[in-house]
Amino acid sequence: MQLLGRSSGFQVASTHKPCTKGLWMWSAPLKRTGLDGTEYNLVLLDTEGIDAYDQTGTYSIQIFSLAVLLSSMFIYNQMGGIDEASIDRLSLVTEMTKHIRVRASGGRSSASELGHFSPVFVWLLRDFYLDLSEDNRKITPRDYLELALRPVQSGGRDVSSKNAIRESIRALFPDRECFTLVRPVNNEKDLQRLDQLPMNTFRPEFTSGLDAFTKFVFDRTRPKQLGASTMTGPILAGLTQSFLDAINTGAVPTISSSWQPFDP
């Protein structure tokens, strides 16, 4: 919960077992004012990790899809750099077109169609230690992300599936960004109790990176909208129920139909 300037918040643990099950909502919305002066409430959601050992593939896609449907900004965090294994973990993105539709008619929606309704995608790399450079010049984390999402040129056996994942990520999340955070503390034992440590005990490099990340989140976050409808508390509750009803009955959530009852 460093976004709130505090170490504690959603449950974390130093064990291999996942703490979060499903989706959790922070109890109190944050009062925010946009750059245009508009006031809004920011609601924080925490989701179960997509690679938890006790999950099925379908369940992971459902959790991921629900978070994307409800969010105006989606922060995907992982440890370390972006490699082939981390991109492969996002292979479920290629399956999302089977689990979400833009409209009831017209069959399956493409990733690019869904991309018009997708949240800002932020890939947050924690405990990052790599020197970001390309062709002997410094590059930004955003450059690093775009390089990782370029089509693979090698002629290996799995090149088509690797490129399909990359293409789906680019299409589904056209508005994307990347941030890196170094390891917050040097002491190994402190890593197991980060939620108990005061903010002033973290490494300065971590704190400055966190400040930049927090500024981006608060500057870029906007109330989720569809057409003339803007997300409110009752709309959030209604959409969540509508999407869950579809998922739990084996149906495919439809974006336009779910928002339709809330049209002004």
Q: Has residue 25 been placed in a domain?
A: yes
Percentages helix, strand, coil for the chain, rounded to the nearest 5?
A: 40, 15, 40
- Residue 93 has a pLDDT of 84
Residue 9 is part of which domain span?
2-223
Q: Has residue 240 been placed in a domain?
A: no
- Residue 14 has a pLDDT of 47
Lowest average pLDDT, out of 178-182, 195-199, 245-249, goes to 195-199
- Residue 1 has a pLDDT of 46
Lowest average pLDDT, out of 74-78, 96-100, 205-209, goes to 96-100
Q: How confident is the model at residue 104 (pLDDT cuts 50, 70, 90)?
A: confident
- Residue 210 has a pLDDT of 93
Residue 153 pLDDT greater than 80, yes or no: yes
Give CA–CA dist 133/127, Å, rounded. Answer: 18
Give CA–CA dist 75/223, Å, rounded. Answer: 16
- Residue 252 has a pLDDT of 86
Instruction: Read off the pLDDT of residues 208-254 as tens digits, 9 standing for 90 and up.
Output: 999 999 999 988 988 898 888 889 999 999 999 999 999 888 888 89
Q: How confident is the model at residue 191 (pLDDT cuts 50, 70, 90)?
A: confident
70 in helix, strand or coil?
A: helix
Q: Has residue 257 been placed in a domain?
A: no
- Single out the residue of 70, 177, 202, 166 nearest to residue 125, CA to CA: 177
Q: Has residue 9 been placed in a domain?
A: yes
What percentage of the chain has pLDDT greater than the value 90? 38
- Residue 199 has a pLDDT of 80
Q: Has residue 160 been placed in a domain?
A: yes
Greatest Cα pair distance, the chain, in angstroms, is: 56
Residue 83 main-chain phi, psi, to 5 deg: -125, -175
- Residue 51 has a pLDDT of 64
Q: Has residue 254 been placed in a domain?
A: no
Q: Has residue 64 been placed in a domain?
A: yes
Residue 3 pLDDT greater than 70, yes or no: no
Q: How confident is the model at residue 16 (pLDDT cuts 50, 70, 90)?
A: very low
Number of domains the chain is built from: 1
Residue 162 half-sphere exposure toward CB, CA atoms < 13 A: 16
Give CA–CA dist 82/145, Å, rounded. Answer: 8
CATH number at residue 211: 3.40.50.300
Q: How confident is the model at residue 105 (pLDDT cuts 50, 70, 90)?
A: confident
Whether the Cβ atoms of residue 10 and residue 218 lie closer than 8 Å to each other: no
Stretch 142-147: mean pLDDT: 96
Residue 176 pLDDT greater than 90, yes or no: yes
Residue 20 pLDDT greater than 70, yes or no: no
Q: How confident is the model at residue 56 (pLDDT cuts 50, 70, 90)?
A: low
Q: Has residue 173 been placed in a domain?
A: yes
